[in-house]
Amino acid sequence: MKNNIIIIAGDPNSINSEIISKTWKKISPSLKRKLYLIANFDLINKQLKKIKSKIPICEVQQIDENSITKKLKIINVPLNFKNPFNVSLKNSRKYTIKCFNLAHHLTQTKNIKGLINCPINKRLLSKSKKIGVTEFLASKCKVNNDSEVMLIHNKKFSIVPITTHINIKNVSKKISINFIIKKIETLQKDFKKLFNKRPKIGILGLNPHNAELFYDSEEVRTIIPAISKLKKKGFNITGPLSADTLFINNYKKYDVVVGMYHDQVLIPIKALCKYEAINVTLGLKYLRVSPDHGVASNIINRNKANPKSLINCIKFLNKFEK
C-alpha cells in the first residue's frame, strides 16, 4: 500500500508558503506524517519567517517509512536567491524544473500515492512554449498523441477542456475527430478508476449557439462526428451543448462537462466552486493534482491566501489506495 504524498513547493514568488503553512495547521496529524515537501529548505524557512508562520520544518534526505517526526519534512533542492519572495526568473526556472524532475522520479520509484504541485507561473516550465504542468508531466511520462487530460474536479461536478494552454486562435486548428475521441477515452478510463463509475458526459460546442449547426462549422465537421463515434463505442455522452446556457443549471445533469477550450469551462467552475475545486491530470503513470488557482503574487505576505484547494488536494490523494 502506498501511503506518502509529495508536494512540490512550486513558484518561489507566490503565496505557496502561506497556503502550505495554513494547510499544515488545519490537517490531521495522520495526514501530516504522510507529507514530503520538495523545496529549497532555506527558502521555505525564510519565507515562513517573513509571513510570521511558526510551523515546524525539518530537512530530510529521502522518503523514510519509519519517520516519526511531527515536523513538515522537506527534501532539499538547491536554489540561489537573495530575497525569498523575489527570486530571478532564471533561477526560479532551474529550481522549479529540478523540483518537478525529482518529484517525478520519486513518485515512480518510492512509496508514493501521488504528487501535488503548488501553483507556478507557466514561464517556469519552458522558455519558448506555452505549456502547463499537464503538458510538462505528460512529456516526462512519455504520453503519446496528446491523450493526457486536464480534469478540474469538485464534488458537485467536473470539467475538462479538450485543448489546454494554447492561444484561442489555434483552438479550431487543434481539435479533430480523433483528438476529441482520444481525450474522452482517457477521461472515461481514468474517471472509472478514480470514482468507480462510468461518467455521464456533456460536451460543448465551440461556437456561439453551436453556430446554429451550420454546415461548415466545427460542430458539424468535427464535434458531432466525434460524439457519434463515441456513442457507438458505448460512451454515455450528450452534445454538442450550448455553453451560454448550460452552466445556469443544466450542468448538474452531468458528471463531467467537456469544453473545447480552457476558459470555456474553467471560468464557470471557478465561479461556481471558488476554492473547492482541484486540478487532476489523467493519463499519467501516477496521480498528479494541484490547487485550482494561480500564484497570486499580488497578495504575498498579506495573510489573504485561501488554503482550501490545497487541503482538498491532500484529502483527494489520501482517499486512493495504490
pLDDT in tens, 270-310: 999 888 899 999 999 899 999 988 999 999 999 999 999 99
What average pLDDT does the structure give for the chain? 91
What is the model's pLDDT at position 127? 67
Residue 1 above 60 pLDDT?
A: no
The rounded Cα 214 to chain-centroid distance in angstroms is 35
Residue 211 above 90 pLDDT?
A: no
Question: Which pLDDT tens digit goes with each residue over 104-163?
Answer: 999 887 788 899 999 999 888 876 566 788 888 888 888 877 889 999 999 888 999 999
Residue 168 above 90 pLDDT?
A: yes
44-77 CB burial, b ≥16 within 10 A, e <16: bbebbeebebebebeebeebeeeeeeeebbbbbb
What is the model's pLDDT at position 130? 61
Looking at the domain covering 144-283, what would its CATH class be?
Answer: alpha beta
Evaluate whether 276 touches 308 at the Cβ level (below 8 Å): yes
What is the model's pLDDT at position 276? 85
**Residue at 37: amino acid letter:** L
What's the CATH code, domain 1-143+287-322? 3.40.718.10
Residue 60 above 70 pLDDT?
A: yes
What is the model's pLDDT at position 125? 84
Question: Which pLDDT tens digit goes with each residue over 199-209?
Answer: 999 999 999 88
Residue 12 above 70 pLDDT?
A: yes
What is the model's pLDDT at position 280? 95
What is the model's pLDDT at position 282? 94
Domain range summary for the chain, segments of one domain joined by +: 1-143+287-322, 144-283
Contacts 24+ apart (CB under 8 A), 58-66: 60/36, 63/4, 63/36, 63/106, 63/110, 63/111, 63/112, 65/3, 65/111
What is the model's pLDDT at position 322? 54
Query: Given this chain, do its domains 1-143+287-322 and 144-283 carry the same CATH topology?
Result: yes
The conformation of residue 146, written as its DSSP 8-state character, comes to T
Please state, in angstroms and rounded to a whole number, the distance separating the CA atoms of residues 119 and 292.
Answer: 8
CA-wise closest residue to 239 among 201, 212, 198: 201
